[in-house]
């Protein structure tokens, strides 16, 4: 449940390491997924590495039950293990090909509304699914292929998001939410492909955001406001972005990545390199964007490091991503307007 203790890393760097899933991966011939190249992003290699969404969710099981522990050095020189629980903040899944719709039924109960998927191969634009949230209020704007075509950085007609399979945004209070794995299990009841889709099946517009809320520290620390900091991390779910993410990791983090995934196993490898081990390969799914809430003082942002620049970069990446897709993200807006409260 705990992550590395690298003394050369800052608290923020250790947090990023500890919440980065490391997922079992497989390889497939590029010729088998030639459709990926139709989006104007040539892969440039014979094989493509991918992971299954189910394996990704498995990485969050222990974190959802006990929290992900990251070592934090306090200003007093004391070291504590701070634990965070992941909650699914938002997820948008677009497939390169239509996914078979789930059973055609509608359920209502406990404030949750679920509807089956609808698909149209003949449509000139993709249909948007209804919001799947714990509140009936609309907290997001559907992605439209026909909108924002003239705006810089937005999706053009030749780079359409794909076929929308699932769009979910959480808008309820953190105290009313359930941990990520439990929420995924709920969504999978009406969207079973959440357990079978692979990263190579998803378009570049597929992503998720995870809200990390602190639960406790060991040893317990009183009156340490900065340990109340909450984080919001953004992760791509598509193989189309893997090469770009590796380059981003090399430039932006420049450190080793480690993570506790699957029974508390720890893995350390250089950023940007594929992780290999007995029985198969591994892929890290690091955040490309970050937002914070209740961040105070210098515990998370070391003034003698690149933490401030790194955090600014990651926040800007998340903001740019949402604007590119013309999306309203409830948690991002809340974190932005209450970041230092």
- Ordered by start, the domain boundaries in the chain are 11-337
Query: Number of H helices and number of E strands within the chain?
Result: 7, 14
Which pTM was predicted?
Answer: 0.74
Distance in angstroms (rounded) separating the CA atoms of residues 271 and 253: 8
| Conformation bin of residue 272: beta by default, left when phi > 0, alpha when psi is -120 to 50 | left
pLDDT at residue 48 in the model:
82
Could you tell me how far CA 220 lies from the centroid of its own chain?
A: 29
Residue 54 three-state SS: helix
Give the H or E element holding residue 246: helix 242-252
Q: Is the Cα dihedral 69, 72, 78, 82 positive or negative?
A: negative
Cβ-contact 72, 82 below 8 angstroms: yes
Say what the pLDDT of residue 128 is: 34
Which is it for the CA torsion 44, 50, 53, 58, positive or negative?
negative
Q: Tell me what pLDDT residue 99 has.
A: 81
Separation of alpha carbons 110 and 218, rounded Å: 35
Work out the widest C-alpha separation in the chain, in whole angstroms.
64
Q: What are phi and psi of 157, to 5 degrees?
A: -65, -30
Question: CA 89, CA 106: separation in Å to the nearest integer?
Answer: 23
Q: Is the dihedral of CA 324, 301, 21, 338 positive or negative?
A: negative
Which residue stretches of the chain have pLDDT < 50? Answer: 2, 4-6, 34-43, 103-158, 246-279, 341
The answer to whether the beta carbons of residues 86 and 179 sit under 8 Å apart is yes
What whole-number distance in Å separates Cα of residue 337 and Cα of residue 6?
A: 33
Q: Measured between alpha carbons, how far is residue 186 from residues 52, 118, 180, 194, 212 in Å?
A: 18, 19, 10, 10, 19
Rounded-to-integer distance, Cα 151 and Cα 99, Å: 29
- Write the CA distances from 61 to 67, 141, 177, integer angstroms: 9, 30, 16
Cα–Cα dist 281/242, whole Å = 14
């Amino acid at each position: 449940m705990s992550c590395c203790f690298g003394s050369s890393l800052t608290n923020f760097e250790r947090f990023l390491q500890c919440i980065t899933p490391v997922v079992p991966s497989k390889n497939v011939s590029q010729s088998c997924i030639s459709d990926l190249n139709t989006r104007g992003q040539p892969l440039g290699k014979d094989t493509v590495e991918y992971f299954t969404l189910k394996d990704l969710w498995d990485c969050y099981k222990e974190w959802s039950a006990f929290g992900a522990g990251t070592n934090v050095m306090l200003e007093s020189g004391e070291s504590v293990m701070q634990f965070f629980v992941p909650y699914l903040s938002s997820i948008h899944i677009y497939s390169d090909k239509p996914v078979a719709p789930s059973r055609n039924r509608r359920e209502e109960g406990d404030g949750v509304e679920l509807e089956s998927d609808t698909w149209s191969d003949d449509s000139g634009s993709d249909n948007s699914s209804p919001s799947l949230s714990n509140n009936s209020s609309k907290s997001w704007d559907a992605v439209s292929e026909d909108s924002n075509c003239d705006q810089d950085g937005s999706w053009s007609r030749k780079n359409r998001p794909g076929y929308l399979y699932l769009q979910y945004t959480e808008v309820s209070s953190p105290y009313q939410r359930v941990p990520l794995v439990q929420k995924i299990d709920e969504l999978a009841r009406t969207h079973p492909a959440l357990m079978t889709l692979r990263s190579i099946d998803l378009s570049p517009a597929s992503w998720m955001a995870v809200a990390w809320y602190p639960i406790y520290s060991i040893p317990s620390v009183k009156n340490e406001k900065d340990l109340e900091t909450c984080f919001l991390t953004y992760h791509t779910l598509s193989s189309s972005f893997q090469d770009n993410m590796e380059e981003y990791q090399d430039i932006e983090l420049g450190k080793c990545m480690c993570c506790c995934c699957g029974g508390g196993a720890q893995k350390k490898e250089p950023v940007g390199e594929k992780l290999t081990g007995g029985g198969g390969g591994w892929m890290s799914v690091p955040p490309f964007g970050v937002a914070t809430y209740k961040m105070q003082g210098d515990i998370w942002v070391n003034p003698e490091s690149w933490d401030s620049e790194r955090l600014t970069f990651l926040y800007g990446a998340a903001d740019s991503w949402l604007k590119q897709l013309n999306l309203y993200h409830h948690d991002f807006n809340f974190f932005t307007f209450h970041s230092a409260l």
